[in-house]
């Protein structure tokens, strides 16, 4: 559906203009599918950042997923290839060698030529939208904050110039998934996280404390329609579940990114607990502590609204329902996705 028509499709309400910042990534992929097909959202663009995998994989996965979802009209901006101050670390053991688990979206795809890989780098792309539409844009960041940090450092007013900036990142009381007290998105680029928090560029936060309130099992995905896109999702999730079984000892996986997207923008009542805190991110050279969020009394930084609990059952039903609609058959998918493992 073209962006211009989306307002009418949302029961007459104007669809909310959104930019997604992603490091696609298995759970980013599911968030993208849901955002691309949600009538409530007007997906104005997707910005890519290195994190789960290197930037070339993030950009290609993102373009392909949007294409399979029938959204080649959504511009994709390629952003930071490495964190602001540190070496890039990636997570092939969590997301697979190219970011989509047991499936690889690496085959040549001529139809991708229709995706608008905009030449404007992500931080400027964000800046241009914020300046052109003051107070209107919502930015949902689902990866390390490098693109947002770069935008802030060049004077983009994410704090005051947007409707809202939402971030999936960090952990408060839950054990970290990267270090003892650190969550992946925060640990990959602690300097960017600290810069954004110090400048008030994060309004709402979804840490592990909220996103880990729901576990998705492989069986949960049995109800998806039998389409090529559903097969891609299942093969990716199967990898994610294998990882979580090994590392977390759970028979299922967390889907941090789509849980954040839905809780923040599509089904707010799933959030059952929020707190408001001034936060900072540790930027020490010691990788064992860098990336940990902590509460600060620094009155100069605005408080962040933090979701600390969600209704797992409600979330699961909402996410799976939306995903089932997102993977429905589209002619372009069967033309461009073959039956081979490598796609
Ligand atoms: C976050 O890190 C990445 O692995 C996921 O995509 C998610 O954004 C969870 O810690
Ligand atoms: Ca992510």
Which range among 9-23, 187-201, 224-238 shows the weakest confidence by mean pLDDT? Answer: 9-23
d(CA 99, CA 326): 20
Q: Which of 71, 67, 32 minimizes the C-alpha distance to 343?
A: 67
**The two structure tokens encoding residue 183:** 């969550």
* Contact yes or no for 23/98 (Cβ under 8 A): no
Is residue 224 in a domain? yes
Task: Tell whether 339 is covered by a domain.
Answer: no
Q: Taking the alpha carbons of 185, 81, 77, 194 in that order, is the dihedral positive or negative?
A: positive
Question: Please, are residues 186 and 174 in contact by the beta-carbon 8 Å criterion?
Answer: no
User: Where does the pLDDT of residue 333 fall: very low under 50, low under 70, confident under 90, or very high at 90 and above?
Assistant: very low
Domain count across the chain: 1
pLDDT tens, 52-94?
A: 999 999 999 999 999 999 999 999 999 999 999 999 999 999 9
- Ligand 2 centroid–CA 132 distance in Å is 27
Over residues 165-182, the pLDDT tens digits come to: 999 999 999 999 999 999
Q: Is 325 in a helix, a strand, or coil?
A: helix
Residue 10 lies in a domain: no
Is the residue at 337 inside a domain? no
Q: Which atom of ligand 1 is nearest to the CA of 23?
A: 6
Q: How many CB atoms lie within 10 A of CB 34?
A: 24
The answer, yes or no, to whether any atom of ligand 1 lies below 6 A from the CB of 256, is yes
Q: Is the pLDDT of residue 296 over 90?
A: yes
- In this structure, which residue's CA is closest to atom 10 in ligand 1? 184
Distance 8 CA to ligand 2 centre (A): 30
Question: Counting atoms of ligand 1 from 1, which one is nearest the CA of 26?
Answer: 6
The residue nearest atom 2 of ligand 1, judged by CA position, is: 184
Report which DSSP code applies to 175.
P
Domain with residue 96: its CATH number is 3.90.245.10
Starting at the edge strand found earlier in the chain, the sheet holding 138-141 runs: 117-118, 76-78, 41-48, 16-22, 138-141, 164-168, 204-206, 304-310, 271-277
Rounded distance between C-alpha atoms, residue 343 and residue 326, angstroms: 19
Residue 168 belongs to domain spanning? 15-332
Q: ∠175-93-29 over CA atoms, to 5°? A: 85
Q: Return d(Cα 82, Cα 54) in angstroms, integer.
A: 8
| Spatial contact of 55 and 285, defined as CB atoms under 8 Å apart | no
Tell whether ligand 1 has an atom less than 6 A from the beta carbon of residue 58: no
- Helix 122-132 and helix 146-153: axis angle, to 10°? 60
Query: Quick check: CB of 99 below 6 Å from ligand 1?
Result: no
Whether residue 343 is contained in a domain is answered as no
Q: Is 177 in the pocket of ligand 1 (CB under 6 A)?
A: yes
Give 253 Cα–ligand 1 centroid separation in angstroms. 12
The mean pLDDT of 283-308, rounded to a whole number, is: 97
Residue 3 lies inside a defined structural domain of this protein: no
The residues annotated with a catalytic role in the active site are 256
Whether ligand 1 lies within 6 angstroms of the CB of 25 is answered as yes
| Cβ of 244 less than 6 Å from ligand 1 | no
> From the CB of residue 251, how many other CB atoms can be counted at a distance below 10 Å?
12
- pLDDT band of residue 119 (cuts 50, 70, 90) is confident
Q: Is residue 342 part of a domain?
A: no
pTM: 0.93
Q: How far is the CA of 87 from the centre of ligand 2 (A)?
A: 18
Per-residue model confidence as pLDDT tens digits over 24-53? 999 999 999 999 999 999 999 999 999 999
Strand 76-78 to 117-118 pairing = parallel
Instruction: Tell me whether residue 6 is in a domain.
Output: no
Whose atoms come closest to the Cα of 26: which ligand?
A: 1
């Amino acid at each position: 559906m073209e962006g211009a028509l989306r307002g009418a499709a949302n029961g007459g309400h104007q669809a909310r203009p959104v930019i997604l910042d992603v490091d696609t990534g298995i759970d980013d992929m599911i968030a993208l599918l849901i955002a691309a097909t949600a009538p409530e959202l007007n997906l104005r663009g997707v910005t890519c950042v290195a994190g789960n995998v290197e930037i070339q994989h993030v950009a290609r996965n993102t373009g392909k997923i949007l294409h399979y979802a029938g959204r080649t009209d959504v511009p994709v901006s390629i952003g930071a290839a490495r964190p602001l101050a540190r070496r890039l670390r990636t997570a092939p053991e969590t997301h697979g060698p190219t970011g989509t688990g047991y499936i690889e979206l690496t085959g040549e795809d001529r139809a991708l030529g229709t995706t608008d890989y905009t030449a404007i780098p992500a931080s400027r792309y964000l800046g241009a939208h914020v300046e052109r539409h003051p107070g209107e844009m919502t930015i949902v960041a689902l990866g390390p904050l490098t693109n947002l940090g770069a935008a802030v450092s060049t004077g983009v007013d994410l704090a005051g110039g947007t409707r809202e900036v939402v971030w999936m990142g960090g952990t408060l009381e839950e054990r970290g998934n990267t270090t003892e007290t650190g969550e992946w998105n925060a640990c990959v680029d602690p300097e960017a996280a600290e810069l954004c928090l110090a400048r008030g560029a994060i309004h709402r936060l979804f840490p592990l404390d909220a996103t880990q309130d729901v576990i998705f099992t492989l069986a949960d995905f049995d109800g998806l329609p039998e389409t090529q896109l559903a097969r891609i999702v299942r093969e990716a999730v199967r990898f994610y579940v294998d990882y979580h079984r090994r590392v977390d000892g759970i028979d299922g996986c967390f889907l941090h990114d789509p849980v954040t997207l839905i809780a923040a923008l599509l089904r707010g009542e799933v959030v059952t607990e929020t707190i408001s805190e001034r936060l900072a991110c540790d930027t020490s050279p010691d990788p064992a502590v860098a990336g940990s969020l902590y509460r600060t009394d620094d009155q100069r930084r605005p408080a962040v609204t933090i979701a600390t609990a969600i209704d797992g059952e409600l979330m699961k039903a909402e996410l799976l329902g939306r995903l089932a609609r997102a993977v429905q058959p589209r002619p372009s998918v069967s033309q461009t996705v073959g039956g081979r493992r490598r796609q």
